Structure 1
Amino acid sequence: MTLEAVPSPLPSATAALVTELARSAAESDGVHPLSEHTLLHLDGEHPGDVHVLAYAGEPGTSDLAGYAALGPDGSAELVVAPQYRRQGFGTSLLRVLLDHGGSKLAVWAHGRLPGSDQLAARLGLEVTRELYFLRRPTAPLAEPAWPSSITVRTFVPGEDDAAWLAVNAAAFAHHPEQGGWTQADMADRLQQPWFDPAGFFLAVDSTGAVAGFHWTKVHEDEGDGPYGEVYVVGVSPDQQGSGLGKALTLQGVRHLQEDRGLASVVLYVDGTNTAARALYEKLGFTTAALDVQFAPKSL
């Protein structure tokens, strides 16, 4: 076993090996081990990111056994190739993350697969956050009921970026993973093949200011067929409680079901966001999986 911790960015050939490792693990486990954020940061210039590579042979070979990512805020993910599990690679990767992240470390376990709890407990980590993965099959939905003075239009790249970032930051002020997005973060996503402005809805008030949004996503290349995602829904704090969030959710889900003809729609929601979870359950979403975040135990 050889471990190598390298700063951002990864060489393109190494990034391709990590992407293939993640794909192989997802195929075996039925859940993606690395988030979109991590995959987008593999070979881009993102100062402060640390990539940890675990090789069964010598560094730089194609025999990549595991990978871990650590962001400057302490958030982290790791994955071990199915054929190299229970051989110490996961423990070694997590130890490196602890050495670099210290008390700030927060490691996501997607799907909470068997073994993640044991590995975390072995190194003194505990669950500090839960993220629910919900799914809804195609079924009739009510028409959105919009608050007075609100109209809906689609996003215009290059013109609406700054306004969207401002509302996103305000709506997710307590969730920096989402609320801390920069123009570069947004640009990364606007350049992806899946981006479709026709599925990116903005609610604007009588002055033309953005009051909320629903950004949808379509996953095309999946084994169980294409499906839609409630990528992110946000409402300006001064519009919360007006029913705008529900209306925007309905707008996006109806678009995915009716305009795109998708068989199911998924979303992620934080375990602490009980109001949103209750809304999604009323709209027919049910829990399909649970992601958890582990962090060092508080003294």
Structure 2
Amino acid sequence: MTLEAVPSPLPSATAAAVTELARLAAQSDDVNPLSEQTLLHLNGEHHGDLHVLAYAGEPATLDVTGLHSTPGDLVGYASLGPDGSAELVVAPEARRQGTGTTLLRTLLDHAPTTLRLWAHGRLPGADELAAHFSLEVARELYFLSRASAPLPEITWPSNIEVRTFVPGQDDTAWLKVNAEAFATHPEQGSWTQADLTDRLNQPWFDPEGFFLAVDRDTNELAGFHWTKVEDNEGEVYVVGVSPTHQGTGLGKALTLQGLHHLQETRALDTITLYVDGTNTPARRLYESLGFTTAALHVQYAPTTV
């Protein structure tokens, strides 16, 4: 096996090979091994990102930059963000051969104390690999699912009006409220204009499913519900409420707005979402609306002494 650790950006052929590797692993495991953020960061230059590539044998030819223009037999991949967040995937046929161990050791070499490694679906072997390196569960992320069923009517706070997102017009206001609503969230709250633009440019983006709640008294954005539809599956992509409007029932109203849109306007039978294990109020709300746990994702970190 040959290992290569390279900074962003990846050559397009290598990025495509990583995407295909993730697709095959998801097909085998029934869970995506790499997050949307990681997949988006395969293309383009993202300062501080590190890509670790594992090849069976020698990788293929080099291009003029010294990176591999063709990916060879890629059997493993790991990503490491500047904040220590990491993910890894090993081809199903290459597992139990030391590839995952080698990838994780490389990640720890680069981030010995700050590493935060996601295990999506917490598949068999994830705990074993983590224990081998004295990593412990530091965070849980619940993946919830809801089958089509009658929804409650929406009750809006009296000073709220609802409209849909206008790209270019609402970007700055949305980023501000998103940062405020998720100030303690290590990923969502740090989104930049580039992160937003990446998603606005995705094939699945639909402004008609991106709802904004505006305070009539101040004309300021009070909250939002961004829905996502991909592969005929709906998702509560992100719901956020400004701190000044929390506790008013706006979060539930926005959630229902998106659910009605996905279930009735888009006629989708299944709606999914992700919610942090520590967000007890949100989990209770989603459970009250018929969501149940479909999978659990965990994040491992070095054991604290």
TM-score, normalising length: structure 1: 0.97
Is 1:271–2:281 an aligned residue pair?
A: no
Q: Deviations over 1:164-204 (max 9, x none)?
A: 00000000000030000000000000000000000000000
Question: Which of 52, 67, 82 lines up with 2:77 in the alignment?
Answer: 67
* 2:227 counterpart of 1:216: yes
**C-alpha distance in 1, partners of 2:59/2:51?**
13
Structure 2: stretches of 5+ with no match in the other structure: 61-70
Distance of 1:258 and 1:102 partners within structure 2: 48
The aligned residue for residue 258 of structure 1 is: 264
Structure 1 stretches lacking a partner, 5+ long: 221-225
Q: Identity of counterpart residues, as a percentage?
A: 74
Tell me which residue corresponds to 2:188.
178
In the other structure, the counterpart of 2:53 is: 53
Q: 1:223 matched to which residue of 2? A: none
Distance 2:268 2:110 in 1: 42
Q: Following superposition, which runs of at least 4 residues in structure 1 exceed 3 angstroms of deviation? A: none
Given that 1:228 and 1:264 are in contact with CA atoms closer than 8 Å, whether structure 2 keeps it comes out as: yes
Deviation at 1:219, TM superposition (A): 1.4
CA distance in 2, matches of 1:251, 1:16: 36
Read off the aligned partner of 1:287 and give its amino acid letter: T
Which secondary structure state, in structure 2, belongs to the residue aligned with residue 103 of structure 1? coil
Aligned pair partner of 1:145 in 139, 152, 155: 155
SS in structure 2 of the partner of residue 184 of structure 1: helix
Deviation at 1:62, TM superposition (A): 2.5
RMSD of aligned Cα (Å):
0.6
Counterpart mapping for 1:22-101 below 5 A: 22-60=22-60, 61-101=71-111
Find out whether 1:122 has 2:132 as its counterpart: yes
Return the alpha-carbon distance in structure 2 between the equivalents of residues 208 and 102 of structure 1. 47
Preserved contact between residue 4 and residue 59 of structure 1 (Cα < 8 Å): no
Structure 1 residues 211-268: Cα deviation after superposition (integer angstroms, max 9, x where no partner): 0000000012xxxxx1100000000001111000000000001100000010110000
Q: Deviations over 1:49-107 (max 9, x none)?
A: 00000001212342100000000000000000000000000000000000111201000
